[in-house]
Amino acid sequence: MPFIPTSKPLAMHWQTSRFDLDLSKPLVMGIVNATSDSFSDGGLYADTSQALRHAERLLSEGADILDFGAESTRPGAEPVSLAQELVRLEPLLREAVRWNVPISVDTYKPEVMQASLDWGVDIVNDIWALRKPGAQQVVAAHPQCGICLMHMHRDPQSMQTQPMAGDVLSEVERFLRGRVIAMLDAGVAVSRLVLDPGIGFGKTVAQNFQLLARQEDLLRLNIPLMAGWSRKSALGAAIAQDGQVPEPLQRQSASVAAALMAVERGASVVRVHDVKDTVDALKIWSIAQQHV
């Protein structure tokens, strides 16, 4: 088993298919859900033209990366067939790659990864961390696409009915370290990797906030981190009043606060629905950092 050094400075760039992304400042990844059942905005952008207009708006609001997904991974979501996912994604990705901005595809199916990379996509963002048969081989065969490896406990159908037990941080770190080692063994350059602790994917509310509080400990892996707190149920639980949990669209302020805290604790990329508010908050953070 190769040793992953933990004493080097954290990488300040992320190599993707077409772009070497500068991570010296935090990047904002805008979410484009071309689905009918996503937990936050399902159905709003299921039509190709609607999804593309939404993607253009996110870019105008300051998104650095666009992340397209065509299958909901909310707790209890029903899987989407390979054919349906490809039908939803192909017109979106073929158009978006023409915009000369970094494009990510949110998928766990190796066939979708391969098709997306063939269409010119820059990043594969996989909630299964390339554990599905054939997925690791697809990205390893690509010369330089970016890769995001996420921790998920169990699967979307059961992850919240049977969440994790024990020390969440040590388990997430152990899992991510193992996936990094697997990628290095497959010949993937470390500069292509970003890690996601998987907020909301099989964790209790308390465990999610433990990951945020101790997020800096994950920097020991010496791989840049991505944080995906946007509109998650843990935020709804935290800001509930009189037992009333706000709907996902009402968690905007909490989402921005969580993204900002994640950046403060070392996240290089934040994946968000509310791009403009997150970008504005990070501008204030950046100005303050210049006076430290």
How far apart are alpha carbons 134 and 45 in whole angstroms? 30
Asked if 88 is an active-site residue, the reply is no
Q: Which of 88, 232, 251, 265 is catalytic?
A: 232
Q: Which of 88, 192, 251, 271 is catalytic?
A: 271
Asked if 232 is an active-site residue, the reply is yes
Mind telling me the catalytic residues? 232, 271
